[in-house]
Chains A and B, each alone.
Chain A
Amino acid sequence: MYPSKFDYHRPSSVQEAVQILSGNPDAKVLAGGHSLIPVMKLRLAAPAALVDIGRIGALQGISRSNGSLRIGACVTYHEIANSADVQAAAPALAEAAGQIGDRQVRYRGTIGGNLSHADPASDLPAAALALGATLHVTGPGGSRSVSASDFFVDLMMTALQPDEILTGVEVPVAQAGTGSAYAKWEHPASGYALCGAAAVVTRGAGGSCTGASLCFNGVSSTAVAATEVAAGLVGSDLSDAAIDSAVGNLSIPDATGDMFASAGYRQELAKVMGARALRTARDRA
């Protein structure tokens, strides 16, 4: 299968890439290509031009400074899953990246592509949301920062404008007493998440919970935060019983049902996966 014809651009800077995008309304960014190329081969997308950002130096690399980790948009899942910095500072993100697709997909797919594509069953949106990531975006008018909670708008829709590029993701480094984890229940054939849960838990000096966050992929049209569960955990002793009781209150009103799993099934699965992610996060806190 061939994609339909397109022009190919390989800019060497973000500025150049943004310029090409703003001059070509039918152009699309190409990163790892592992969502875009399959849909172009099926002719479900036929952009007039591709802007290949894969070789832009500013979009590569993982660096740590001032209590945060900066991950370039074109960093692959393989690099993230195997980065000692990410494993230490944001284990939920390393775990989520390491469970995406298969080893071939993990060598090509990028964090920027995953978050920009915003497939409801993608693994990284919930992790970015739970960890309180900040997304850096550049467009023709300059650069701006968007919090993960404002980035995911709806089904495969983000806060990105067509002529904007996601340049990097900033994740706070876990402080002492904070742990995070990602637990995924995957569809046995596609490997995508029927439900993926990302949890972050902080324990105070006395051992009780001073902060929590629990977010899900795969259960509704976009990554969602279970704020009522997080609120129920704060002040608790984070025992298994406390986690089970907080998760028992989970309600995802717009849970989606499809040919693979009903909305009710996903809702129940989210309780199980949520509790697993919270327990692992607690053990790391």
Chain B
Amino acid sequence: MGISIELEVNGASVSKEVEPRLLLAHLLREELGLTGTKIGCDTSQCGSCTILLDGQAVKSCTVLAVQADGSEITTIEGLANGEYHPVQQAFWDNHGLQCGFCTPGMIISCVDLLGTNPQPSEDEIRHGLEGNLCRCTGYHNIVRAVQDAAETMNG
């Protein structure tokens, strides 16, 4: 029993017939080939599946594709616009990643964080990223990357 949905993913319109139980993370990765979005825990904890749904950071493993019908979605693949998004560049410059598995979700959450709070304190950054777990970096360079991106974006 398929349900027709229409969405805009990284600026392109997408029409699909989906099973109601299809998760948004699986739609993106398996049906649309956008494997930048990762599935880490699959239990709503780690944030590696974070994408922007109508501009808000959400965990795509905990949203049904049918719930996203009519929405605009941005994944890590949609952030760069000819050149890297300032947050992507700042992660590069500050060594804000090691294995890189958490990075797409982490960067999307940072974009959301800086959108709502353009000049976050260190504490606000750590608190603002509590929905994204990183097993490698110990978070210090991620915090530096966010501070650096904030400067670039405000400058």
Which A-chain residue is minimally distant from B70 (CB atoms)? A55
Contacts A2-B21, A6-B20, A7-B20 given; indicate if A34 touches B66 (C-beta within 8 A).
no
| Contact partner, B59, options A30, A50, A104, Cβ 8 Å | A104
A41 to B25, CA, bound (A): 13
For the complex, is A54 an interface residue (Cβ under 8 Å from B)?
A: yes
Kindly name the residue among B26, B43, B62, B112 whose own CB sees the greatest number of chain A CB atoms within 10 A: B62
A33 touching B131, Cβ below 8 Å: no
| B-side interface mostly | mixed
CB-CB under 8 A from A107, the residues of chain B are: 53, 56-58
In the complex, are the beta carbons of A3 and B21 less than 8 A apart? yes
Q: How large is the interface on B (under 10, 10 to 19, 20 to 34, 35 or more residues)?
A: 20 to 34
Whole-angstrom distance between the alpha carbons of A42 and B42 in the complex? 10
Distance between B81 CB and nearest chain A CB, rounded to angstroms: 24
Establish whether residues B62 and A52, one from each chain, have CB atoms under 8 Å apart when the complex forms: no
Docked complex: B110-124 residues within 8 A CB-CB of A: 112-113
When each residue 35-76 of chain A gets 1 if its CB lies under 8 Å from chain B and 0 otherwise, what string results? 001100110000000101010000000000000000000000
Other-chain contact of A104, B3, B58, B67 (Cβ < 8 Å): B58
A161 CB-CB contact with B under 8 Å? no
Min CB gap B47→A, angstroms? 6
Q: Answer yes or no: B77 CB below 8 A from chain A CBs.
A: no
A191 CB-CB contact with B under 8 Å: yes
Residues in A whose Cβ lies below 8 Å from that of B43: 1, 38, 41-42
Interface string of B111-155 (1 = CB under 8 A from A): 011000000000000001011100000000000000000000000
A174-204: CB near B (< 8 Å → 1, else 0) gives 0000000000000000010000000000000
Residues of B within 8 A of A (CB): 1, 3, 19-23, 26, 42-44, 47, 50, 53, 56-59, 61-64, 66-67, 109, 112-113, 128, 130-132
Name 18 A/B residue pairs within 8 A (Cβ), A-sorted.
Answer: A2-B26, A8-B64, A30-B64, A33-B63, A33-B64, A38-B44, A38-B62, A54-B67, A103-B57, A103-B109, A103-B113, A103-B128, A104-B50, A105-B131, A108-B59, A108-B62, A108-B63, A191-B130
> Which residues of A are in contact with B by a Cβ distance under 8 Å?
1-8, 10, 30, 33-34, 37-38, 41-42, 50, 52, 54, 78, 101-105, 107-108, 191
